[in-house]
Structure 1
Amino acid sequence: MFPGAVADRNEAAYALVGAPLDVSTTFQPGTRFGPRLLSHVAEAFSDYDHHTSQRFTNLSVHDHGPVRPGDDAEEYLHFLEGTVRDYCEEDTVPVVLGGEHTVSLAGFRGVEPDTYICLDAHLDLRESYAGNPLNHATVTHHALDVVDEVVLLGARAGSEDGWSRVEMDDRITVIPPQEVPAWTPSLDSDDVYLSVDIDAADPGFAPGTGTPEPFGLEPQTMHKVLREVAPHCAGFDIVEVNDRDNGQAATLAAKLLRAFVFAHADSN
């Protein structure tokens, strides 16, 4: 259980849903261990948040536990989507703990937001990768089938076709890493799905991820973005943490997850 996630489902304001999918990682696998690692490192955190004067144990957070994948990724994503949608219908904010970034498909399909905001090193605009349309490199491409607007924060790598698509599609906004600290969200509704791929961080801060990319974001910048965007969110995920470091990536991810819950709860 994630520390402090002590609420029963029938009283939950937030539901932590583990999604340890790890089938399409193209460099360093291990995201299947992500949800477990986040729960482990969070044991060291204080229950109290001085930014909002709240305690995590008082915020009605429920731990759904992991939705364990089988052999069929499409079937798994369909089931996970249903789980996310069920929580939305119960007026509970789903918080998905990946797992590879492909689990975000289930997240935003279940929430059906207007806007998808993602902290990520990569554009993820491929239609398929290695012949697989359900690959972690296709997430943004699939998001454009669901949402009206995509904002990618910290993106610094992508295919030639991906960068061309950014230039041609006015629904996509890319904020490069050096501009993210000054970025301020302009959101008219509370219908955002926020995804954090931990590789948005510079690998000096979070080496434990599948496809690390240098020249990334600092943790303080990621924390600022989460606290500003969280009040507008109907769903959230944090993905791509693996077991290839000494807990740096998991510690950052677990802190960002809690920052999301604290900031969201403080606005409601």
Structure 2
Amino acid sequence: MFPGASAPRSEANYVVVGAPLDVSTSFQPGTRFGPDRIRKFAETFDDYDGRTDRRFSDLSVHDYGDVHAWNDVPEYVKHLSGVLRDVVWDDAVPLLLGGEHTVSAAGVRATDPDLFVTIDAHLDLREEYDGDEWSHACVTQRVLETAAEAIVVGARTGSEAEWARAAEGDVTVVPPEDTGAWLRAVAEGERDPFAGNTTYLSVDIDGADPGFAPGTGTMEPFGLTPREMRDVVRAVAPSCVGFDVVEVNDRDDGQAAALGGKLLREFVYERAATRTGSR
């Protein structure tokens, strides 16, 4: 169980769901261990958050457990989206723990947002990778079959075709070096992509510089700091209908999992603080 996620399912405002899919990881596998690893390395976090004056255990979070994964990825995504849609129908927010990034497609299908925001080192805008249209390298392209727009924060690599796709009007790329300015523009109202939009937020842990989170499948240097990722989560959380942390594996001493668990908690604290009196 994710620490503090002790609310009964029927009373939950937030529901943690593990999705240990590990099929298309193209370099270092191990995302099947991500959900339990995130839970484990969140055990040391204090329940109380001084910034928001809230206890995580008071925010009605339930841990559903894991949805067992299998190798037929389209069918798994379909099944997982049904589990998550039940969460949405119960007026709760799904908190998905991956697993490879492909599982975000299930979260988006279940929540049907206007806008997909992802922290990611990679554009993930390929139509297919090695002949597989359900590869984790294609997830943002798959998501855009449901969501109208995507914002990729922290992207610093992609194929030539992906960069051409990213130049189209439904995709915004915020490179690592521009993230601070983008956050300031959002905070000051110069740019408000969330106004009037429902949003799904996905955190691919490889958005972080690998010096901070080496436990991921496809490390890419020159990335975001944990504080920058935290600030993005805080900025996006109030408008969100769903959230995930993906691409954590078991190939470090817990840095990636600890960061993922902390960002999940930041999401819940921020969303709860800005939506007092509502679910």
Normalised TM-score (structure 1): 0.98
Aligned pairs for 1:34-113 (under 5 A) are 34-113=34-113
Alpha carbons 2:20, 2:32 under 8 Å: kept: yes
Q: Distance in 1 between matches of 2:71 and 2:148?
A: 32
Unaligned stretches of 5+ in structure 2? 187-191
1:158 aligned partner? 158
Tell me if 1:198 matches 2:197.
no
Query: How far apart, CA to CA, are the structure 1 residues paired with 2:119 and 2:273?
Result: 22
* Aligned ranges 1:199-214 → 2 under 5 Å: 199-214=206-221
In 2, Cα distance between equivalents of 1:242 and 1:209:
5
Q: Deviations over 1:139-177 (max 9, x none)?
A: 11111111111100000010110001112x111000100
Q: CA RMSD in A?
A: 0.8
Is 2:274 the counterpart of 1:267? yes
Q: Distance in 1 between matches of 2:71 and 2:269?
A: 36
Contact 1:207/1:248, CA 8 A, preserved across alignment: yes
- What secondary structure, in the 3-state scheme, does the structure 2 residue paired with 1:102 have? helix
Determine whether 1:32 maps to 2:39.
no
Tell me the amino acid that sits aligned with residue 28 of structure 1.
Answer: Q
Is the alpha carbon distance of 1:245 and 1:158 closer, same or farther for their aligned partners in structure 2, counting shifts above 3 Å? Answer: same
Is the CA contact (8 Å cut-off) linking 1:121 and 1:200 kept in structure 2?
A: yes
Q: CA deviation at 1:189?
A: 2.6
| Unaligned ranges ≥5, structure 1 | none
Q: 1:166 to 1:71 in 2, by over 3 A?
A: closer
**Counterpart-to-counterpart distance in 1, 2:198 and 2:71:** 33
Q: Deviations over 1:8-47 (max 9, x none)?
A: 1100000000000000000000000001011111110000
Q: Provide the secondary structure at the position in 1 that maps to 2:220.
A: coil
Q: Among the aligned pairs, what percent are the same residue?
A: 56
User: CA separation in 1, counterparts of 2:87 and 2:196?
Assistant: 20
Q: Does 1:5 align with 2:5?
A: yes
Question: What CA distance in whole angstroms lies between the structure 2 residues aligned with 1:5 and 1:193?
Answer: 21
Q: Distance in 2 between matches of 1:259 and 1:216?
A: 20
Does the 8 A contact of 1:101 with 1:136 survive in 2? yes
Q: CA deviation at 1:190?
A: 5.3
* Residue of structure 2 equivalent to 1:235: 242
Q: Provide the residue aligned with 1:116 in structure 2.
A: 116
CA distance in 1, matches of 2:2, 2:18: 10
Counterpart residue number, 1:217: 224
Deviations 1:203-243 (A, max 9, x none): 00000000000000000000011011100100000000000
Matches of 2:268 and 2:217, distance apart in 1: 25
CA distance in 1, matches of 2:265, 2:142: 27
Q: Which runs of 4+ in 1 moved over 4 A?
A: none
Amino acid of the structure 2 residue aligned with 1:98: G
SS of the aligned residue for 2:85 comes to: helix
Q: Could you tell me which amino acid in structure 2 is paired with residue 33 of structure 1?
A: F
Code of the aligned partner of 1:181:
G
| Conservation of the 8 A alpha-carbon contact between 2:5 and 2:63 | yes
Aligned equivalents of 1:119 and 1:25: distance in 2?
18
After superposition, residues 133-172 of structure 1 pair within 5 angstroms as 133-167=133-167, 169-172=168-171
The answer for the alignment partner of 1:256 in structure 2 is: 263
Q: Does 1:174 align with 2:173?
A: yes
Query: For residues 235 and 50 of structure 2, what CA distance do their matches in structure 1 show?
Result: 16
| Structure 1 stretch displaced more, 51-60 or 177-186 | 177-186
- TM-score, scaled relative to structure 2: 0.94
